[in-house]
């Protein structure tokens, strides 16, 4: 099976990050998957995904125009804002009518935009059992970053860090709403699995039989 390696591509994805991607996505490597990445910069990661998913259709969205030569015909590029619901709906309709298997957010790294695109895509355009990745969430600690200037130490609830904590709360929805002990009405979490590592958050959507109504 082909290994995932970022060193031969024009991308800043770290070896550690790529190792997590490969661990979680290896079962999909030989399949006819649909992948969407938000924030593709010069497009190096697009070629990495094209090579790794040899049968996949790869979509990329960036705020700035990106032009790439793709003889395979499997690459689909879009220009616009990551939080634009109509654009996100259009990309799904054109590239993944049955939904995306993998979605990656390497775009603004600002909580407001990241949150809007996450819930739109996660609920409506990610397949049951699919993976949603959020890169570089640690920008929420940087004083030079819009989301990071509020960081004062412990109990940080602002920006990207605060959004990650919202995802943790969603994982705990079953206990937050536990009958007789929590806040009614009871519901299951919308997240099946949440993995948090340096620079990367991986969120798995529940399989169809375990999905909770949004």
Tell me the per-residue pLDDT of 46-59, one tens digit each, with 9 for 90 and over: 999 999 999 999 99
In angstroms, rounded to a whole number, what is the distance separating the alpha carbons of residues 214 and 200? 25
Q: Are 58 and 68 in contact (CB under 8 A)?
A: no
Given pLDDT bands bounded at 50, 70 and 90, which one contains residue 190?
very high
| CATH number 3.40.50.1820 given to 15-207 | no
> Model's pTM, two decimal places?
0.93
Q: Are 56 and 35 in contact (CB under 8 A)?
A: yes
Domain ranges across the chain: 15-207
């Amino acid at each position: 099976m082909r290994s995932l390696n970022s060193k031969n591509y024009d991308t800043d994805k770290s070896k550690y990050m790529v190792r997590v991607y490969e661990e979680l996505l290896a079962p999909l490597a030989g399949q006819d998957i649909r992948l969407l990445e938000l924030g593709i910069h010069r497009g190096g990661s697009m070629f990495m995904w094209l090579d790794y998913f040899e049968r996949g259709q790869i979509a990329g969205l960036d705020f700035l125009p990106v032009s790439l030569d793709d003889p395979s015909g499997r690459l689909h590029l879009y220009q616009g804002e990551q939080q634009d619901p109509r654009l996100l709906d259009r990309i799904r309709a054109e590239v993944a009518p049955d939904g995306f298997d993998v979605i990656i957010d390497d775009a603004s790294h600002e909580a407001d935009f990241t949150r809007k695109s996450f819930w739109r895509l996660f609920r409506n355009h990610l397949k049951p059992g699919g993976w949603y990745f959020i890169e570089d969430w640690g920008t929420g600690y940087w004083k030079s970053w819009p989301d990071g200037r509020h960081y004062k130490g412990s109990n940080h609830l602002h920006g990207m860090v605060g959004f990650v904590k919202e995802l943790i709360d969603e994982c705990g929805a079953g206990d937050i709403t536990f009958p007789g002990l929590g806040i009614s009405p009871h519901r299951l979490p919308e997240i099946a699995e949440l993995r948090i590592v340096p620079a990367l958050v991986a969120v798995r959507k529940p399989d169809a039989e375990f999905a909770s109504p949004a």
